[in-house]
Amino acid sequence: MPAVLEGTARALLRRVAIEQAEARMPSLVATVLREGRPVWFGARGTAEGAAPTADTQYRIGSITKTLVAVLVMRLRDEGLLELNDPLAKHMPATPVGDVTIAQLLSHTAGLTAEPPGPWWERVPGMEIDALTGALGTQTSRHRPGRRLHYSNLGFALLGELVSRHRKADWVEVARSEILQPLGMRDTTTRPREPHARGYAVHPWADVLLPEPEHDAVAMSPAGQLWSTSDDLARWAAFLAGGDEGVLDPATLAEMREPASVDDADAWSGGFGLGIQLMRHRGRRLAGHGGSMPGFLAVVWGDPADRSGVVCMANATSGLRASVATDLLDILDAHEPALPREWAPATVDPGLLELTGPWYWGPAAYLLRLRSGRDLSLSPVSGPGRTSRFTAQDDGTWLGLDGYYAGETMRLVRRPDGSISHLDLNTFIFTREPYDPAAPVPGGVDESGWR
């Protein structure tokens, strides 16, 4: 593991030590990543009488959902389903079959947070037929698509969706399609030694109560897995940087796009497609938190610089969410990342004539040539719409993000071959403000500027 500086390591360990002591965690482990690689591991407390290591297993709870979501997106990429498909298309006779797969992934299906029956996390699980048979009118709490409402039940249904398409238990599918390719050999459905035992810490005394652990069966896609700090570091690196052998990079980027938010006014947290999102001090983090009786965990990755953090503890409650982002802040403060070196790109020289200022009416924009034949359009200054465009085989460009995501931009030339204008989904961009020689919608006043 590449090491951070001694002072950085001390500051990181101190933050973990403060959290373990003040939050009264029996044990707490953490890993910090930079550029997709672990650069620091720290631990405090004991797990069954021994200091935990990066190979000690903890239960990771709802982080399990992120793996299920990747399996679903792999099915989509293979053409076996569409995100707008109703669940009933793939799981007939399901009482909530009208909700879509995308709504289940983004927690906007309006389903109840928990399945019917006793608290599922502390009792032996039921089979899928018993689970779906227990669903009824009380299962839907909100109109589908109306709002974010976290649902463990929804991911139980998604796990069954994966199992039916692959004709194998979702865990076996995850092992062959995700865990083995990423080298996550210590991520399992039930604990193996060495592992931490789960405890509840008494609120008013420094004593512990062991928590039960069962196979959740049908609910297992919502939070069954156990993992290690080493394995979760690999998962953080995947969430930040991807792995083409597991998922198309464009699909992973799609999963990280905000689909629902917790706080619409400021949007500091929300969900993409099965991935939790958070904005923190200029970072846009992708990952997930996890909790099961006796365990707490969190994993975050930042696609911008492929940094990440993992925290795991064996307590039912008390771990503060800020510990993970504090560790990233400490790394940034003590060892700020260097910007990537600039290097010339391989581009189509025939497109150089397109670069430079363009005008949408009186608003000035810059068109830049990226690698290959790809372009970006952004305001020269002030507010405006910024988008990147990727070249298409027919000579047009497709918007990748921003207002123009999914829209087509085409270059229009005059009969003599000179450049006339850009047509961006009916918006006309010209080489001078309101060029009278271009087909500006509504025309240009004949008397011109005055």
- Which distant-in-sequence residues (6+ apart) come within 8 Å of 309 by Cβ? 30, 31, 32, 33, 236, 298, 299, 300, 324, 325, 327, 328
Q: In this structure, are residues 110 and 104 in contact, taking their beta carbons and an 8 Å threshold?
A: no
Distance, CA of 364 to CA of 294 (rounded, Å):
57
Enclosing H/E stretch for 422: strand 419-424
- How much is the average pLDDT of 13-38? 97
The better pLDDT of the pair 165, 95 is held by: 165
Terminal Cα-to-Cα distance of the chain (whole angstroms): 67
3-class secondary structure, 277: strand
For residue 137, name the pLDDT band (cuts at 50, 70, 90).
Answer: confident
Tens-digit pLDDT profile for residues 394-404: 999 999 988 99
In this predicted structure, what is the pLDDT of residue 261? 83
Per the DSSP assignment, residues forming a β-bridge with 387 are 377
- How much is the average pLDDT of 309-325? 97
- How much is the average pLDDT of 98-126? 94
Q: Which CATH number does 6-334 carry? A: 3.40.710.10
Burial classification of residue 168, based on how many CB atoms lie within 10 Å of its CB (0-12 exposed, 13-18 middle, 19 or more buried): middle
DSSP secondary structure of 29-75: EEEEEETTEEEEEEEEE-BTTB---TT-BEE-GGGHHHHHHHHHHHH
Compute how many other C-beta atoms are within 10 angstroms of the C-beta atom of residue 447.
6
Burial classification of residue 411, based on how many CB atoms lie within 10 Å of its CB (0-12 exposed, 13-18 middle, 19 or more buried): middle
Q: Tokens 């085409």 map to which residue? A: 410
Distance, CA of 197 to CA of 251 (rounded, Å):
36
Tens-digit pLDDT profile for residues 365-409: 999 999 999 999 999 998 889 999 999 999 999 999 889 999 999
Question: Which sequence spans correspond to the domains of the chain?
Answer: 6-334, 349-429
Mean pLDDT for the chain overall: 95
Q: In this structure, are residues 299 and 236 in contact, taking their beta carbons and an 8 Å threshold?
A: yes
The percent of the chain in helix, strand and coil, each rounded to the nearest 5, is 30, 25, 45
Which of the 8 DSSP states describes residue 294?
T
Is the pLDDT at 1 greater than 70? The verdict is no
Q: Which residues of 136-164 are buried (b: 16+ CB within 10 A; e: fewer)?
A: eeebbeeebeeebbbbbbbbbbbbbbbbe
